[in-house]
Amino acid sequence: MNERRTEPVILLTSAVFCIASFYFFDRAVALFFQQFNDILWTGAWKAITKAGESQWYLVGGIAIYAWFRKKNHRKAQSGLFLLSTVAVSGLAADLLKFIFGRARPKLLLEQGIYGFGFFHIDHAWISFPSGHSATALSAALTLSLLMPRFKSAFIAGGIIIAASRVVLDQHYLSDIVAGSTLGIVTVTMLYQRYFKTALDETRILQAEP
């Protein structure tokens, strides 16, 4: 990941897509998924979306760090890396949700309300960006860096979790794109600035005879 140069490109591309999606795609996608209300369908997607809750990764990261802190430096740093990426992306998402105050799809579907109110704290008005998507992609990318053999599975899982928020009409398409971008950029920045050296140096030392 080189990385510092790619961050502005990722952010700009995401911003352009989100603006276009706000005007052309978001409402149509929300209305499309409104028609799918089968119990088995929604039950399956609700199970998937739970994997985007941050507590699983925060507790896991803390546990890994605490367990390996005096036993294995790289594994301890791996736990701290996972904890940091999920925590930072989640806090950033929460702050942006409050600032933008975007109405969730349910307000469109039930009351015809669409757009931004800015500076809201109530659940119905904190849609942008998607916190689940930020968590899912930050965790997926972090795990793919730590265990590159399973990169494809992690990334696919993160995308599916993010998509579940749109399928369940909890977020708009642009919400999950923004949240996913936030997660990706958070991991890239923290890895390059704080964790790459520690993780790579430990890997090299462990590979030496």
Residue 197 pLDDT = 86
C-alpha closest to that of 137 among 166, 100, 176: 176
pLDDT at 77: 95
Output the furthest CA–CA distance in the chain (Å, rounded): 67
Write down the pTM of the prediction.
Answer: 0.91
Degrees to nearest 5, angle at CA 43 with 163 and 57: 55
Asked if 30 and 104 touch (Cβ cutoff 8 Å), the reply is no
Q: pLDDT band at 6, cuts 50/70/90?
A: confident
Residue of 48, 49, 85, 35 whose CA lies nearest to 65: 85
Residue 105, classed as helix, strand or coil, is helix
The domains located in the chain, with CATH, are 6-207 (1.20.144)
- Render pLDDT for 80-127 as a digit per residue (tens, 0 to 9): 999 999 999 999 999 999 999 999 999 999 999 999 999 999 999 999
